[in-house]
Copies of this chain bind each other. A is one copy, B any other.
Amino acid sequence: MKFSSKIQRCELSPIRKFYPYQVACNKKGIKIYHLNIGQPDIETPPAYFQAIQQRHKPVLAYAPSPGIPELIQAVQRYYARLGIPYAEEDILITTGGSEALQIIFNCILDEGDEILVPEPFYPNYDTFAACAGGRIAPIPTFPEEGYHYATREKIEPRITDRTRAILITNPGNPTGSVLTPEEMRLIGDIAREHDLFLISDEVYREFVYGGEPLQSMGSLPGLEENTIIIDSVSKRFSACGARVGAIITKNRALQQHALKICQARLSVATLDQQACAALYDTDPSYFAAVREEYKRRRDTIYRKLQEIPGVICKEPQGAFYVMAKLPIDDADAFQTWLLTEFQDNGETLMYAPGGGFFATPGVGHDQVRFAYVLNCQDLTRAMDLLKLAIAQYNAR
């Protein structure tokens, strides 16, 4: 039997290789501060659980393929509050932002086609592109420049006749970068001038810390045919386990193509959709409190990282990640060492090594991503551990 060449090019999660060390560490009774995964510790609004516990019809039937009307209308009202008037037909409910990306990639990529993505990027884009027969063409960025990518000079030379789309994550995972309105406009202009789709992954929209109004590429006039918003309840409502997201675009031809795949996979889980519809009535005070908490964490981890000699990072403006260059040879080797040789008062830490966020060979191995999904006290201790560990590691 043969496996496809595309699946052989894909890789298992780069975090996975540390799992045996993590288990051994736990067995020795060592406490690990987990800054390696993007699972928020914030409570899901109780409305979700209340809605799912309501009386249900006796037959748990398929939902309509585009999504249940209550949820589509809730998403529609949410965007109306942002000042973006989407029609119900502009919204397709998906099994998380993940399925939204898989569907869109299948709609636009043939064998050998490319999607332009600022690097470092969310590693799963790579697997989704490969499965659709295409590949990620990276736009290199640098920690010394705060991973800035929104200039014509960085983007345009990378466009080829195989480029089908520009994909951005805003606010950014893993970099925490947030585009200015002018930068959004620039990227939109480039997409339109080159007749490219503009896929805007905005699942971290609410997580911005500079007091900016909430943004969306969907608000830019003249880009209605180009723009595709990837949305999700996972981070917005700390409801990662609901697996509910959306494809949002005014491009009707694209919606019709995407609907073919939605119909083939039948539907998204019925009760999760009902419960997510209820989430959209969450009081704005919820987001204000969550934003305040993450801002405190961002400030804490950034302050502590600056105190470590040789660390290069700029203050992240959004999401709940910070990407940094560490003064070490190799982030994979350092992580292994942290789990096998290091401990301080019975404690150590984990992060996401940078290599997995890069498509350019050999790049990113001295960079790491921290998810600040722990409280400030734990973050402070984790960064103290990091400082101590770097010193010990380099003095070996």
Binding site for B on A (CB under 8 A): 1-8, 10-13, 16, 39-44, 48-49, 52-53, 56, 58-63, 65, 95-96, 98-99, 102, 106-111, 113, 124, 127-128, 131-133, 164-165, 195-197, 225-226, 238-243, 251, 253-254, 256-257, 259-261, 263-272
The answer, among B3, B13, B132, B195, for a CB contact under 8 Å with A257, is B3
A194 to B, closest residue via Cβ: B1
Q: What 13 new A-B contacts, CB under 8 Å, besides A1-B196, A8-B257, A242-B269?
A: A3-B257, A4-B107, A4-B109, A4-B133, A5-B110, A12-B260, A16-B263, A52-B52, A53-B53, A60-B239, A60-B240, A240-B266, A243-B267
Contact A58 B43 (CB under 8 A): yes
Contact A1 B225 (CB under 8 A): yes
Contact B127 A2 (CB under 8 A): no
Closest 9 pairs (CB-CB, A-B): A241-B270, A127-B264, A98-B265, A60-B241, A124-B264, A243-B269, A43-B58, A44-B60, A62-B240
A197 to B, closest residue via Cβ: B1
Chain B residues with CB under 8 Å of A98's CB are: 264-266
User: Which of A40, A56, A61, A164 has the most CB atoms of chain B within a 10 A radius of its CB?
Assistant: A61
A124 to B, closest residue via Cβ: B264
Contact A58 B39 (CB under 8 A): no
**How many angstroms between the C-alpha atoms of A225 and B6 in the bound complex?**
20
Contact A52 B1 (CB under 8 A): no
Nearest Cβ on chain B to A253's Cβ, whole angstroms: 7
Chain B residues with CB under 8 Å of A107's CB are: 3-4, 7
Chain B residues with CB under 8 Å of A260's CB are: 7, 10-12, 127
Chain B residues with CB under 8 Å of A106's CB are: 4, 6-7, 131
Nearest Cβ on chain B to A298's Cβ, whole angstroms: 20
Chain B residues with CB under 8 Å of A16's CB are: 263
Chain B residues with CB under 8 Å of A265's CB are: 95-96, 98-99, 102, 124
Contact B111 A12 (CB under 8 A): no
Chain B residues with CB under 8 Å of A96's CB are: 265-266
| A127-B60 in contact given A4-B109, A241-B269, A269-B242 (Cβ < 8 Å) | no
| A269-B272 in contact given A59-B238, A164-B2, A226-B1 (Cβ < 8 Å) | yes
Chain B residues with CB under 8 Å of A40's CB are: 59
Contact A243 B225 (CB under 8 A): no
A63 to B, closest residue via Cβ: B241
**How many angstroms between the C-alpha atoms of A99 and B266 in the bound complex?**
10
Chain B residues with CB under 8 Å of A197's CB are: 1
Chain B residues with CB under 8 Å of A109's CB are: 4
Contact B264 A128 (CB under 8 A): yes
Nearest Cβ on chain B to A311's Cβ, whole angstroms: 29
Chain B residues with CB under 8 Å of A132's CB are: 4, 131
**How many angstroms between the C-alpha atoms of A243 and B195 in the bound complex?**
37
Contact B241 A61 (CB under 8 A): yes
A237 to B, closest residue via Cβ: B60
**How many angstroms between the C-alpha atoms of A52 and B51 in the bound complex?**
11
11 A-B pairs, CB-CB below 8 angstroms?
Answer: A1-B196, A1-B225, A4-B108, A7-B257, A39-B61, A49-B60, A63-B241, A131-B261, A241-B269, A269-B272, A271-B271
**How many angstroms between the C-alpha atoms of A190 and B43 in the bound complex?**
54
Contact B43 A271 (CB under 8 A): no
A56 to B, closest residue via Cβ: B49
User: Which of A1, A59, A239, A263 has the most CB atoms of chain B within a 10 A radius of its CB?
Assistant: A1
Contact B59 A43 (CB under 8 A): yes
Contact B62 A241 (CB under 8 A): yes
**How many angstroms between the C-alpha atoms of A165 and B133 in the bound complex?**
20
